[in-house]
Structure 1
Amino acid sequence: MPRLLLILFLFVFSFAQAQYGSYTPPDKLYGVLFADVQMSRVFKDGKTFVDCVPKKTPQEIADAYGKLKNNPLVRYSLQMFVESNFTVPGEVATGYVSDTTVPVTTHINGLWKVLSHEPDKPVNGSSLLPLPNAYIVPGGRFREIYYWDSYFTMLGLKESGMYDMMENMINNFSFMIQQYGHIPNGNRTYFLSRSQPPFFSLMLDLLAEKKGGRVYAQYQLALQREYDYWMDKADGKGHAVKMPDGTVLNRYYDQDIVPRQESFYEDSTLGAAAGKRAPQLYRNLRSGAESGWDFSSRWLADSKSLSTIQTVNLVPVDLNCLLYHLELTLGKAYKETGDLLRSNYYTKIAGKRKAAILKYCWNANYSWFTDYNVVTKSKSKELTLAGITPLFTGIATQAQANAVATLLKNKFLKAGGLVTTLKNTGQQWDSPNGWAPLQWMAVQGLNQYNQQALAKTIATRWVELNNKVYKATGKLMEKYNVTDMTTEAGGGEYPAQDGFGWTNGVLLALIRQYNLQ
C-alpha cells in the first residue's frame, strides 16, 4: 500500500475508532442482549452472533432490548429481534460449486479468489477490526484473517505466484502490531486479548525469497514489537516464565478471564461447574485458543476432561521454537540496518533459548520433545506432534532427530498422514485428526535431518488423502481423519469447515515439492 494511502487509512481508522469505540467486543457493547442470545442458542454456532453487523448503533439496539425485556406486558421473539436489528453473516464461499473434473491444483488456484477479502471499511458496531490491504480468509465460519493460518496459506500463494497478496497480508499484520501492540488471533475485537503462534518472522522468510534480505530491515520495528509482546515481564502475569535455573521461556497466556465471546455458551456452561475456579478456567481456555490447538489432551491435567485444562502451567515446545526463530530473525534485521551490537545480542539470546529448550523439553524417557509443566516442575508425558517443531526450526541434534523420526514412524504415521496426538478424547486437536500445518512442519523438519524417505511418505499420504476427499466432495477441509480415510474428521465446538486456507497452501506446496500430481 502506498505510504500516502496508509496514512489516510490510519487517519480514517483512528476517527472511526474514536467515533465507534471499535475496540469494544460484543459482550461489552450489547450486555444483557449478548448473554441472552448466546445462552439461548439463537444460533447453533456462537461465532455467528459476534460476527453480526448491527443495523443501528449498538446503544440504540441495547436500549431497545432493555425496554422490551423489562416490559412484562410485551411478548417478543429473541430470534426475530436479532434478525430485525442485525445482518446475519453467511459462511465464506456460500453457493460456490467445485468442478472435481479439474486437478486439485487448478481448483486451489481458483479458490484464492473465492477466499479473498477486499480492504475493510470501518462499520459502526461491527466486531471486525478493519485492515488496509486485501487478505485471504480460511473459509467456512472463519470470515476474517487468522494469524498462524496465514503463514501456511502463504505457502500456496507463493506457489501460485501471488506475492502481492502475500505482501498485503504481511503489511496487514505489521499494521496490527503497530495498532494493537501485537497480532491478534484474528482481526476481531473479541480476539484482542490474545495472539496465536508467532509465525510473522517465518512469513518474512517467504517474502525475502522474492525480495531479498532488505525485507528484514523493512519490518524491523514490527519484529521488535512482536517480540516485546511475547517477552512481557516474567512475573506470573504474562507470556514470559522464569524457569528453575533462572532462564526465561514462554507460554500462552490470554489477558482476559471471561468466557470467550465466540464460545460463550460452551465456556459459561463449563465455568458454572467450576465455581470459584471459573476465572482461572476461562483464562486457560482462552490461552488454549491462543495456542491454535483449541483443544487437545496436551493441555488437560487428566488428559481427557476439558474442565482440567491447564494451558498456562505449560511451557510449550513449539511456541519456544518459534520465538527462537524470531530472535534469530531480529538478529538478521539489525544486521541489515547496521546495528551489529543488537544483532549479536539477539543471536546470543537465541542460543540461550535453544539450550533451554533442549534442557527442559527434550524428554529422554520417550525420546521425544514435550512441553514443560512449571507448576509440577516436570516434563509432560503427553506425546504430541508439537514435538517435531525443534526439527522444523533446526534446534534438535541429529541423534534427537533420528529418535523422533523412529517414534513418528512407529506411533504417529497413519494411512492419511500424521495423527496429532496418540489419544482420542473427542477434542479436535487429538487423534484421529491430522492438520495441514503439522504435516508441513514434520516434512520440512525431517528433510533438514536427512530423513527424506519418511518425509516423502508423510507428504504422499497426506496429498493422497486430500485428493481423495476433494474428488469425493469437491472440498478441501480444515482437518482430516488420517486413521480412517473413509470418515470425516470431527471433534471440538463446531463442524469441520471447508475452504480451506492452510490446507490449500500446504497441499499446493507439497504437490510442487514432490511432483505428486
Structure 2
Amino acid sequence: MQVRLFDVQPATHAGQHAAPDFVPQDLRPPSIALGDLFAAIHAAHIFTDAKAVADAIPDQAPTDLVAAWRQEKDLPDFNLKRFVSQHFTIPVLRSAAYSRKPGESVRDYISGMWDVLTREADTAVPWSSLLPLPETYIVPGGRFSEFYYWDSYFTMIGLYEDGRIDLLRNVVRDIASLIDRYGHMPNGNRTYYLSRSQPPFFSLMLDLLASHDGQVVYTSFLPELQREYDYWTHGADALKPGAAWQHVVRLPDNTLMFRPWDDMETPRDESFPQDLVTAKSSHRPAPDLWRDLRAGAETGWDYTSRWLADGKTLDTITTTSLITIEYNCLMVHLEQTLSHAYALNGEKDKAAFYAQQATQLKNAINHVLWNEKEGAYFDYNWRTGQLRDVLSTATAVPLFLHIASQEQADAVARTLQTRLLHIGGLSVTDRETGQQWDYPNGWAPEEWMAIKGLEQYGHDALAADIGRRWMARVIGTYEKSGVLLEKYDVVSPEISATGGKGGGEYPMQIGFGWTNGTLLGLMNRYPQNTRKVLDNNPLADQPSQQPLPPVDAWDAKGPEIPVTERSPLKGVPVSSLKTDAPAQNVPVRPETPASGAPVPQPASLVRTTPPAGPDGGAGAGAGAGAGAGPNTGSGSGSTSAPLPADGTPAKPGEQTVPLPSEDRPQSHQPARHEESAAVTPRLQPTPAPRPTGTGTGTGTGTGTGTGTGTGTPISDPKAPAQEP
C-alpha cells in the first residue's frame, strides 16, 4: 500500500518501538480540509496574521464544520467572527512578550530563552494542523510556534555551545520521527508544510550530536539519512537529460543536480491572502506562480531577488527554474555522511557509491555554479542555461562545506570583503528590492556559514572581522531593545532597536532561535572581540576562546551509547474520534524541459546508479553450512528488468520500473482554486517495489556448507515517466 500526501494517517511514531493507536490525523492542509470556509475567514479579515487561520484548531471534523457553516452563513443574524470564536481554538504564542530582565546580559538572555523557546512533547489534538512530536523541541520564536527544519540546525549550535546536549539529542530524534512517519523532514511540523521540505541540514545536525555522543550517532540514524536522501532524489533514476522532476534536474550532459520544489500549486496556507494578491498582479498562470512562491518558501529565503526573473518584482518569481547553491552543497554533505555511515556499518559497496556521488556533485557545483570572472558562486537557471547575476552570501556555502578549491575560496573571500561586507556584517545580497532576504539585511545563518567557511580556508582575519561587526550589530541592538531578533540592517551606521529593514510578510520577530545559537558560538570563538562590544554590560563574563563547532564529526569520540530509543507520541484513542476522508488527489502537469537552451557540458560529471547485478538486481545470499559451526555466505543475484516508462531498453547495469497507472504524470487543466486544489502526491514513505534477485551463498565455519538466499537491489529504480 502506498501512502499519499493527504491521506488520513494515525499520528503514531514509526520506528523500532511501535506506539499504540492514537488519534488519526487529517494530513490535508486547512485550506483543503476547510475549503470555502478557510477562504471566507481570510476574506473577512478576522485575523491580522494569516498564519493564525492555518494554526487555528477546529472543534470538530472539518467536513461537519463546513456543513454547519454552510447551513448558517445565509441566516440574517449570522456573524462569521462569532462562528470562528465558537468553533476554533487559537494557540497562544508564548514567547512573543518576552523581554530582558533588569541587568540581564546577552549571554544570560540566550540561556534563559531556551526555556521560553522549548516546547514539551506534543499530545495529538484532533483536527489540528500541528504534526505532533515525541520529544521536547525548540521553536524559533515570535509567530513561529512550531518546529522548523533549517532554523533548527543554527539553533542547535547554541544548544551545543551551552551544553544542552539532552535537548539537542531530542531535536534530532524529533526530526527522525518526522522522517520515519512522512518520508521526509517537512518545512515545519504542520500539515500545510508537508508538501515541501527546507534545505537538508539533517546530516549536519548529526555532526553536532556525534561531536558529543560519538560515531554511533551516524549508524543509529542511518535509516533516516537514507530516507532523507531518497526523498530528495525521488524520480532521478528515470529522468531524461534536459528534464526536471520534483527536486531533481538532469542537465543535457546527464549531470544530476537539485532545485527547490513544492508538491502543491495553490496559495500557501500560512500566507493565503498575500498569494492571492500576488496572483492578481501577475500575467502568469496562477498555479505556476503559486508553486514558485511555495518553492521559494522551501529555500528559507522568502523572498529574495535571487528568485526573481526581473530581479525586483515578486510576481516574476521563478524558483523552480533554478539550481541553487545551498541545495547542491548540502546534498554533497548528505552523500558524504551516508558514505561514512555505511562504512561504519561495514557496507563497503554503498559507502563507495555515495562517496562517488558526492565527488561527482562537488565537481558539478564547481563547474556549473562557479563564475570565474565574478569570483563567486551563483544560482543557475536550468531552463535558459545561464547563471543568475545576483551576488549573495550563498557564495560562501561551498567554503562552509569544503567544496571550493583554495583558489575559489580566495576569490570568494575577496568578493565578500569588497561587495557584501558592511559596518554591521554581510548583507545577504547586493540588491535592494524591499524583500527581506536582500540588501541591507543580514541574517544569522549566512554570517555563521561565511565565518566558518572562511576559517576553514585560512582567511581567519576576515572571518574574525565579519564576526566582530555582526556581534557589534546584534549586541548593540540588544542593548537598545532588550531582545534578539530575526534579522538586522547591517548597512546603516546607526543601530536601530527594531533590527532589520523592511521586507517579509510579517512584522519583525523576536526570540530568536538561530540568532541566539550562532551568537553564542561566535561569542565563545571571539571572546576578545566580544568584550569590546560589551563594555556597557560587565555581567557578560567571557570564557576562554573555543573553536567553532565542526561541519563534520567523522573522527569524534564519544560514549557511543545508541540513541535509537524514541518516545511514543501521546494522544487520544482512535475509537473516541470521528475522522474525515481525504480529498481527491489530482496530479499536476509534468515539467517540460526547455528546448534549445545553451547548457554547460562538464566533463565526467555523470552520476551513476548504485552497484547492481548483471541484469539489474543485486542479490545477497546467506548460506548455512553442514559443518559444526555457523556459516554465512555471500550471493550474487540477477533479475530481468522491465522496460523504462518511456519504452526504451534499459542500459546494462541499470534498473527501471514503470509507475502504476495512477501515479503517472498526466497533463490536465488546473482546477480553479475555489473548487479544488491541484496537488502532486509524493509517494511517501512506503518505497516502491524493488526487483528481487536470487542468490547462492557458501559459508565456512568449523565445517563447510552451501545455502541459498534472496537479495534486493541497492537502488530504488522507481521514477516517473517523462514527457518526450
**TM superposition score category, shorter chain reference:** over 0.9
Q: Does residue 114 of structure 1 match 2:116?
A: yes
Question: Which residue identity does 1:493 align to in structure 2?
Answer: E
Q: Does residue 455 of structure 1 match 2:449?
A: no
Residues 242 and 8 of structure 1, relative CA distance in 2, 3 Å threshold: closer
Provide the rounded CA distance (Å) in 1 between the counterparts of 2:86 and 2:17.
31
Q: Does residue 15 of structure 1 match 2:22?
A: yes
Question: Which residue identity does 1:318 align to in structure 2?
Answer: E
Question: Which residue identity does 1:453 align to in structure 2?
Answer: A
Provide the rounded CA distance (Å) in 2 between the counterparts of 1:426 and 1:41.
25
Residues 6 and 259 of structure 1, relative CA distance in 2, 3 Å threshold: closer
Could you tell me which residue of structure 2 aligns to residue 476 of structure 1? 484
Q: Does residue 40 of structure 1 match 2:44?
A: yes
Counterpart secondary structure, 1:446:
helix
Q: Does residue 309 of structure 1 match 2:317?
A: yes
Could you tell me which residue of structure 1 aligns to residue 76 of structure 2? 74
Provide the rounded CA distance (Å) in 1 between the counterparts of 2:195 and 2:271.
15
Instruction: Pick from 9, 24, 31 the counterpart of residue 27 of structure 1.
Output: 31
Instruction: Pick from 372, 376, 384 the counterpart of residue 368 of structure 1.
Output: 376
State the Cα distance separating 1:82 from its structure 2 match.
1.3
Provide the rounded CA distance (Å) in 2 between the counterparts of 1:321 and 1:468.
33
State the Cα distance separating 1:213 from its structure 2 match.
1.2
Residues 142 and 10 of structure 1, relative CA distance in 2, 3 Å threshold: farther
TM-score for the superposition, normalised by structure 1? 0.95
- 1:63-142 matched pairs, under 5 angstroms: 63-69=67-73, 71=74, 73-99=75-101, 101-142=103-144
8 A contact 1:92–1:141 mirrored in 2? no
Instruction: Pick from 494, 513, 527 the counterpart of residue 501 of structure 1.
Output: 513
Q: Does residue 263 of structure 1 match 2:267?
A: no
State the Cα distance separating 1:211 from its structure 2 match.
1.0
Provide the rounded CA distance (Å) in 1 between the counterparts of 2:234 and 2:282.
29
**1:30-49 CA distances to partner (integer Å, 9 max, x unpaired)?**
11110011233221211011
Provide the rounded CA distance (Å) in 2 between the counterparts of 1:431 and 1:91.
30
8 A contact 1:133–1:172 mirrored in 2? yes
Could you tell me which residue of structure 1 aligns to residue 495 of structure 2? 486
Could you tell me which residue of structure 2 aligns to residue 347 of structure 1? 355
State the Cα distance separating 1:100 from its structure 2 match.
5.2
Counterpart secondary structure, 2:94:
coil
Provide the rounded CA distance (Å) in 2 between the counterparts of 1:403 and 1:75.
69
Could you tell me which residue of structure 1 aligns to residue 207 of structure 2? 205
Q: Does residue 510 of structure 1 match 2:517?
A: no
State the Cα distance separating 1:276 from its structure 2 match.
5.8
Provide the rounded CA distance (Å) in 2 between the counterparts of 1:207 and 1:40.
47
8 A contact 1:92–1:142 mirrored in 2? no
8 A contact 2:183–2:227 mirrored in 1? yes
Question: Which residue identity does 2:43 align to in structure 1?
Answer: M
Instruction: Pick from 33, 54, 57 the counterpart of residue 58 of structure 2.
Output: 54
Q: Which has the higher contact order (CA 8 A, sep 6+)?
A: 2
Provide the rounded CA distance (Å) in 1 between the counterparts of 2:517 and 2:365.
29
Residues 465 and 100 of structure 1, relative CA distance in 2, 3 Å threshold: farther
Question: Which residue identity does 1:206 align to in structure 2?
Answer: L
State the Cα distance separating 1:9 from its structure 2 match.
8.4
8 A contact 2:225–2:338 mirrored in 1? yes
State the Cα distance separating 1:317 from its structure 2 match.
1.0
8 A contact 2:96–2:510 mirrored in 1? no
Moved more, 75-84 or 301-310: 75-84
Provide the rounded CA distance (Å) in 1 between the counterparts of 2:259 and 2:15.
35
State the Cα distance separating 1:214 from its structure 2 match.
1.4
8 A contact 1:16–1:22 mirrored in 2? no
Counterpart secondary structure, 2:282:
helix
8 A contact 2:235–2:248 mirrored in 1? yes
Instruction: Pick from 221, 224, 233 the counterpart of residue 222 of structure 1.
Output: 224
Could you tell me which residue of structure 2 aligns to residue 183 of structure 1? 185
Counterpart secondary structure, 2:285:
helix
Question: Which residue identity does 2:145 align to in structure 1?
Answer: R
Residues 216 and 448 of structure 1, relative CA distance in 2, 3 Å threshold: same
State the Cα distance separating 1:313 from its structure 2 match.
0.5
Residues 447 and 266 of structure 1, relative CA distance in 2, 3 Å threshold: same
Provide the rounded CA distance (Å) in 2 between the counterparts of 1:111 and 1:23.
31
Moved more, 44-53 or 112-121: 44-53
Provide the rounded CA distance (Å) in 1 between the counterparts of 2:489 and 2:120.
33
Could you tell me which residue of structure 1 aligns to residue 406 of structure 2? 398
**1:393-429 CA distances to partner (integer Å, 9 max, x unpaired)?**
1111111111111111111111111100011111110
Question: Which residue identity does 1:44 align to in structure 2?
Answer: T
State the Cα distance separating 1:53 from its structure 2 match.
1.8
Residues 39 and 275 of structure 1, relative CA distance in 2, 3 Å threshold: farther
8 A contact 1:115–1:139 mirrored in 2? yes
8 A contact 1:25–1:189 mirrored in 2? yes
Provide the rounded CA distance (Å) in 2 between the counterparts of 1:416 and 1:84.
48
Moved more, 246-255 or 79-88: 79-88
Moved more, 150-159 or 86-95: 86-95
TM-score for the superposition, normalised by structure 2? 0.68
Moved more, 90-99 or 265-274: 90-99
Provide the rounded CA distance (Å) in 1 between the counterparts of 2:91 and 2:123.
16
Instruction: Pick from 269, 281, 287 the counterpart of residue 279 of structure 1.
Output: 287
8 A contact 1:195–1:290 mirrored in 2? yes
Provide the rounded CA distance (Å) in 1 between the counterparts of 2:94 and 2:394.
29
8 A contact 2:259–2:324 mirrored in 1? yes
Residues 308 and 94 of structure 1, relative CA distance in 2, 3 Å threshold: closer
Counterpart secondary structure, 1:323:
helix
8 A contact 1:6–1:132 mirrored in 2? no
State the Cα distance separating 1:169 from its structure 2 match.
0.5
**1:296-346 CA distances to partner (integer Å, 9 max, x unpaired)?**
000000000011000011000111000000000000100111101111111
Could you list the runs of 5+ residues in structure 2 that have no partner in the other structure?
1-11, 532-724
Could you list the runs of 5+ residues in structure 1 that have no partner in the other structure?
none
Moved more, 254-263 or 487-496: 487-496
Provide the rounded CA distance (Å) in 2 between the counterparts of 1:352 and 1:223.
19
**Greater fraction helix:** 1
Q: Does residue 422 of structure 1 match 2:430?
A: yes
Residues 483 and 228 of structure 1, relative CA distance in 2, 3 Å threshold: same
State the Cα distance separating 1:496 from its structure 2 match.
1.1
Counterpart secondary structure, 2:19:
helix
State the Cα distance separating 1:7 from its structure 2 match.
6.7
Residues 237 and 75 of structure 1, relative CA distance in 2, 3 Å threshold: farther
Number of residues paired by the alignment?
508
Question: Which residue identity does 2:217 align to in structure 1?
Answer: V
Provide the rounded CA distance (Å) in 2 between the counterparts of 1:5 and 1:184.
15
Moved more, 443-452 or 22-31: 22-31
Provide the rounded CA distance (Å) in 1 between the counterparts of 2:335 and 2:13.
31
Residues 409 and 100 of structure 1, relative CA distance in 2, 3 Å threshold: farther
Provide the rounded CA distance (Å) in 2 between the counterparts of 1:206 and 1:45.
35
8 A contact 1:100–1:471 mirrored in 2? no
8 A contact 1:39–1:264 mirrored in 2? no
Provide the rounded CA distance (Å) in 2 between the counterparts of 1:496 and 1:95.
13
Provide the rounded CA distance (Å) in 2 between the counterparts of 1:131 and 1:158.
21
Counterpart secondary structure, 2:22:
helix
Provide the rounded CA distance (Å) in 1 between the counterparts of 2:150 and 2:15.
27
